[in-house]
C-alpha cells in the first residue's frame, strides 16, 4: 500500500491559473474536469466577477421610454415585463410617486450646469441667474471664482454690516465669550456668591460699564439682583444701589 501511494503521489500534471496565470501541479482527476482552475480564493472571486460582467454586457437590451420625463433608455426585457412603469433614474420615479407634473407638460427647458455640464430641468419659477445641478457644484464654482471663501466670518464676510446685529454692544460679545466667563467663575455670582438653579439667573457684566471692551479680564459674572443694583433702571428710582464697599470688581 505504501508503494501504491508513492506511485499515485508521483503522477501530477501542470495546470495554469485562469486569472493570474500561475503554474502548479495537480492530480489528473482534477485537471480532467474541463473547467478553469484558480490558485487562490482571490483569483476565484475575480473569475466570478469577470463572468458576471460578461453576462451583464452580453444580456439583451431593449429601448424603452421613461414613464415620467419621456427619455429613451435601455433596459432588460425581464425588467420591462416585471414592472408596470419604467423610469430612467430614481429622481423621475420619486417625482412620479410624489405627484409632480411631468417635465414635458410644464413650461420649462433643460439647462446645463455651469460646473459639471449636467442637464437640469428649470421652469420659470425655479430659474436662477446661475444654474447648478447640486449644492456641491454651486460651492465649487463659487470657491473657484473667489466669491465665497472658507471661514469668512466677521469683517471678512462680503455681507458684513459693521456688527450692527449685536448693537448696542461691539462685535465679539457672543455666546462663546459668555460661556467662557460662566465656566471661569464657576457659575456663581462674583458679588454675593449665589449659584442660581438656572443659567438665565446670571448675567455677564462689564467692569468698566462700557460696551466695547469684551476682554475676559473686563467681564465678571453677576446674579440678576446684583446686576440690577449696579445698573439701576432709569424708570425705577427706588432701586437699591450697590454699596461703595461692594467688591464688584476683580
pLDDT one digit per residue (tens) for the chain, 250 residues: 333 343 455 577 788 887 888 887 777 777 666 566 778 888 888 888 888 888 777 777 888 888 888 888 888 888 888 888 888 888 888 888 877 766 655 677 888 888 888 888 787 777 788 888 888 888 887 777 665 545 566 676 666 666 665 566 776 778 888 888 888 888 888 888 888 877 667 888 888 888 788 888 889 998 888 888 888 766 544 444 444 444 454 4
Q: Which of 231, 215, 219, 224 has its CA nearest to residue 192? A: 224
Cα–Cα distance between 91 and 104 in angstroms, integer? Answer: 15
Cα–Cα distance between 133 and 121 in angstroms, integer? Answer: 9
Residue 74, CA distances (Å) to 55, 90, 96 in order: 16, 15, 20
CA 77-83-86 angle, to 5 degrees, is 80
Cα–Cα distance between 138 and 224 in angstroms, integer? Answer: 48
Cα–Cα distance between 110 and 7 in angstroms, integer? Answer: 76
Amino acid at each position: 500500500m505504501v508503494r501504491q501511494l508513492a506511485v499515485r503521489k508521483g503522477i501530477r500534471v501542470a495546470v495554469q491559473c485562469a486569472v493570474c496565470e500561475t503554474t502548479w501541479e495537480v492530480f489528473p482527476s482534477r485537471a480532467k474536469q474541463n473547467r478553469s482552475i484558480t490558485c487562490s480564493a482571490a483569483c476565484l472571486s475575480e473569475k466570478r466577477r469577470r463572468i458576471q460582467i460578461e453576462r451583464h454586457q452580453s444580456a439583451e437590451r431593449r429601448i424603452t421610454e421613461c414613464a415620467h420625463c419621456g427619455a429613451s433608455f435601455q433596459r432588460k426585457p425581464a425588467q420591462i415585463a416585471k414592472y408596470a412603469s419604467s423610469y430612467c433614474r430614481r429622481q423621475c420615479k420619486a417625482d412620479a410617486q410624489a405627484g409632480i407634473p411631468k417635465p414635458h407638460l410644464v413650461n420649462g427647458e433643460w439647462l446645463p450646469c455651469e460646473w459639471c455640464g449636467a442637464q437640469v430641468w428649470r421652469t420659470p419659477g425655479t430659474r436662477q441667474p446661475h444654474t447648478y445641478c447640486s449644492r456641491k457644484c454651486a460651492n465649487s464654482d463659487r470657491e473657484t471664482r473667489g466669491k465665497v471663501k472658507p471661514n469668512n466670518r466677521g469683517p471678512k464676510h462680503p455681507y458684513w454690516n459693521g456688527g450692527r446685529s449685536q448693537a448696542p454692544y461691539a462685535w465679539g460679545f457672543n455666546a462663546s465669550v459668555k460661556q467662557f466667563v460662566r465656566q471661569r467663575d464657576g457659575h456663581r455670582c462674583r458679588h454675593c456668591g449665589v449659584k442660581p438653579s438656572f443659567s438665565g439667573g446670571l448675567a455677564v457684566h462689564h467692569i468698566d460699564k462700557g460696551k466695547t471692551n469684551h476682554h475676559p479680564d473686563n467681564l465678571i459674572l453677576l446674579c440678576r439682583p446684583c446686576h440690577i443694583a449696579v445698573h439701576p433702571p432709569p424708570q425705577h428710582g427706588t432701586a437699591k444701589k450697590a454699596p461703595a464697599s461692594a467688591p464688584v470688581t476683580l
